[in-house]
């Protein structure tokens, strides 16, 4: 395993082609411990594909990528995956409906599915219990995943993505399909985990709506069809950038430390 820079993520001149189509090119970014990066952009622009690259689930077609200080091209990615937390709502059906909330969270440490259950240690269960507390689901620890509401299940999967204290956690649209209240509970739970469990770790989060971003986001990558913008949130998340990225007039407002973007549909 080759150890490179101190960045937890370093992407340089990255190119990704899927199914013969170029998804993104010339993409460079870095993420350090404690930084919280949001990835936003129009539908189909490659956010999920990028989150898979950044969590070691998809290989770049060209360019350099380091994860947790290791050059991915020279590393057995299976050795890195357990150190990178990952959330995608596509995970839920793969976990098995009979699995309990506690098992689902504890197995996150091994990025494992059903079969690893018997290797769980008391320390794993203790950490899983603590994470369930942080997402306010202690009462549901022994309930099966199928018996939970989708909002509760998403919070279980959120807790799972941080079990084993990974250095990097990648969340792909953790608030998708949630109603207004479930979404707020999810964001509050995420803020709590970031503040109390993942202070030194890095976060990468894909989102569609600015109001889904926790107030602790420090950096933003806006992906668009022809170009991208990466940098500190105040520099990147502007009406001008979003208007260019979405090719549509967009306004950005701040409310209680979070931002809201609205697409203008009528001329002023």
Regarding 47 and contact with ligand ATP (CB under 6 A), the answer is: yes
Query: In the bound complex, what is the minimum distance in angstroms from residue 68's beta carbon to ligand ATP?
Result: 23
Q: Is residue 175 left, alpha or beta, with left meaning phi > 0 and alpha meaning psi from -120 to 50?
A: alpha
Q: Which of 44, 97, 195, 232 binds ligand ATP (CB under 6 A)?
A: 44
Integer-rounded Cα radius of gyration of the chain: 18
Q: Which of 45, 68, 92, 203 binds ligand ATP (CB under 6 A)?
A: 45
CA distances from 87 to 44, 129, 225 (A): 19, 18, 25
Regarding 160 and contact with ligand ATP (CB under 6 A), the answer is: no
Contact mark string toward ligand ATP, 49..68, x via CB under 6 A: x-------------------
Closer residue to ligand ATP, CB minimum distance, 9 or 23: 23
Query: 187 — phi, psi (to 5°)?
Result: -65, -40
Closer residue to ligand ATP, CB minimum distance, 24 or 162: 24
Regarding 46 and contact with ligand ATP (CB under 6 A), the answer is: yes
Q: Is the dihedral of CA 213, 215, 221, 223 positive or negative?
A: positive
Regarding 174 and contact with ligand ATP (CB under 6 A), the answer is: no
Closer residue to ligand ATP, CB minimum distance, 19 or 122: 19
The token duo for 17 is 């082609």
Q: Do the Cβ atoms of 225 and 178 come closer than 8 Å? A: no
Query: In the bound complex, what is the minimum distance in angstroms from residue 49's beta carbon to ligand ATP?
Result: 3
What DSSP line would sit under 101-112, residue for residue?
Answer: HHHHHHGGGGT-
Regarding 74 and contact with ligand ATP (CB under 6 A), the answer is: no
How many CB atoms are located within 10 Å of the residue 107 CB? 24
Single out the segment in contact with ligand ATP by CB under 6 A; choices: 17-25, 91-99, 122-130, 257-265: 17-25
Question: What does the angle CA 253 – CA 204 – CA 149 come to, to the nearest 5 degrees?
Answer: 85
Q: Total binding residues for ligand ATP by CB under 6 A?
A: 10
Query: In the bound complex, what is the minimum distance in angstroms from residue 215's beta carbon to ligand ATP?
Result: 23
Which residues, including other chains, have CB under 8 Å from residue 126's CB and lie 6 or more apart?
Answer: none
Residues in touch with ligand ATP (CB under 6 A): 18-19, 23, 43-49
């Amino acid at each position: 395993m080759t150890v490179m820079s101190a960045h937890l993520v370093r992407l340089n001149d990255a190119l990704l082609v899927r199914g013969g189509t170029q998804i993104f090119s010339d993409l460079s970014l870095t993420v350090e411990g404690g930084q919280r990066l949001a990835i936003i952009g129009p539908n189909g622009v490659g956010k999920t594909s990028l989150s898979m690259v950044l969590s070691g689930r998809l290989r770049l077609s060209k360019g350099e990528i380091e994860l947790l200080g290791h050059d991915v091209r020279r590393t057995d990615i299976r050795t890195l995956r357990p150190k990178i937390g990952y959330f995608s709502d596509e995970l839920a059906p793969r976990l098995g409906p009979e699995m309990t909330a506690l098992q689902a969270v504890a197995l996150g440490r091994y990025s494992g599915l059903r079969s690893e259950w018997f290797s769980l240690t008391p320390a794993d269960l203790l950490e899983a219990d603590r994470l369930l507390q942080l997402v306010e689901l202690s009462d549901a620890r022994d309930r099966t995943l199928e018996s939970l509401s989708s909002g509760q299940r998403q919070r279980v999967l959120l807790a799972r993505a941080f079990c084993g204290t990974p250095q990097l956690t990648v969340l792909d649209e953790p608030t998708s399909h949630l109603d207004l209240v479930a979404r707020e509970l999810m964001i509050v739970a995420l803020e709590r985990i970031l503040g109390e469990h993942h202070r030194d770790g890095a976060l990468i989060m894909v989102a569609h709506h600015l109001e889904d971003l926790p107030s602790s986001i420090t950096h933003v990558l806006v992906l668009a069809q022809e170009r991208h913008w990466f940098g500190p949130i105040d520099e990147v998340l502007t009406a001008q950038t979003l208007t260019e990225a979405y090719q549509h007039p967009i306004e950005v407002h701040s409310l209680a430390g979070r931002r809201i973007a609205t697409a203008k549909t009528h001329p002023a």
